[in-house]
Amino acid sequence: MEVRLQKFLADAGVASRRKAEELILAGKVSVNGTVVTTLGTKVDDKTDEVSYNGKKVVPNTHFVYVMLHKPEGYVTTVKDQFDRPTVMDLVKKIPERIVPVGRLDYDTSGLLLLTNDGDLTYHLTHPKHKIEKVYLAKVFGRPDENAVNQFKWGVMIDGRRTEPAKLEILEDLGKYTMCRITITEGRNRQVRKMCEAVKHPVATLKRVATGDVALGDLAKGKYRFLTEEEVRSLKNS
Ligand code: URA
């Protein structure tokens, strides 16, 4: 079957479709021995030989979908330039070349998906799909109605308004308030910046759901495979 080169690379788990486009433009991909820098080049997934960084790319035979309860103190990259622990250290036993779907900050804990299904990664991380991500945030002070409304309208961060978001008050903890925050984008440190912008900085942050898939009682530092039902719901989200 003929597929676009960036989709071939994404399906093979090399990178997300967007990242694969960058790799192609950077001249890191060749087809049958010739470097290809044109996006959209079609390849036959059975007969063409695609290489990335000089190594043959083998299409996936089966996809794996993993949920990790990321602890604080881990970076969400495959390799860290400062040699800090990475989330990959926690899923070492999985032989497939899985990569994190999006990112959680070093100091954020909670639900992180990892997969070798580039299409699903693309689907879940593209802002146009507006997949809901739910966080428990312990914030300083007590957000009032005005803060709740600002989230509803979208908050200005880095000179650009966010999509409408939800801020729900769960519990008064005295100096802090426990909140549930729902966003549909994945901008850099988005929740922390939004809370900062409404003058209630985050003390601790944990992601508890992506779409209909919830972290539940999975222990910190542990992972599990998603159920078929969970995979289906993510694909349809
Ligand atoms: N928003 C943040 O500020 N940090 C995360 O890790 C995720 C969302």
* DSSP class per residue in 107-163: T-EEEEEEES-HHHHHHHH-GGG---EEEEEEEES---HHHHHHHHH--EETTEEPP
Matching CATH topology for 65-127+213-236 and 132-210?
A: yes
CA atoms within 13 A on the CB side of 45: 16
**pLDDT value of residue 36:** 95
Structure tokens at 22: 């960058």
**Four-residue CA torsion sign, 105, 16, 115, 183:** positive
Map out the domains of the chain as residue ranges.
2-56, 65-127+213-236, 132-210
Q: How many residues does the chain have?
A: 237
108 Cα nearest atom in ligand 1: 6
Q: Which residues line ligand 1 (CB under 6 A)?
A: 104-105, 108, 189-192, 205
Neighbours of 150 (CB within 10 A): 19
Local mean pLDDT, 10-residue blocks, the chain (237 residues): 90 84 96 94 91 88 92 91 93 91 96 92 87 97 98 97 98 98 95 98 98 97 96 91
pLDDT value at residue 128: 86
* Predicted pLDDT of residue 97: 85
β-pairing, 202-210 vs 109-115, is parallel
Domain 2-56 has CATH 3.90.105.10: no
Look at the pTM and tell me if it is higher than 0.85.
Answer: no
Predicted pLDDT of residue 4: 93
Which superfamily does 132-210 belong to? Alpha-L RNA-binding motif (3.30.70.1560)
How far, in Å, CA of 11 to CA of 8, rounded? 5
Angle between helices 118-125 and 228-236 (to 10 degrees): 50
Q: Identify which of 109, 111, 192 to mutate to test ligand 1's pocket (most ligand atoms within 8 A of the CB).
A: 192
Please check whether residue 50 is in contact with residue 4, taking contact to mean a CB–CB distance below 8 angstroms.
no
Answer yes or no: are the C-beta atoms of 31 and 5 closer than 8 Å: yes
What stretch of H or E contains 188? none
Q: Quick one: which atom of ligand 1 is closest to the CA of 186?
A: 8
Hey, what CATH topology would domain 65-127+213-236 get? Answer: Alpha-Beta Plaits (3.30.70)
Q: In one letter, which amino acid is 111?
A: L
> What is the distance between the alpha carbons of residues 117 and 12, in angstroms, rounded to a whole number?
7
What letter would DSSP give residue 227?
Answer: P
Residues annotated as catalytic are: 105
The pLDDT assigned to 176 comes to 98
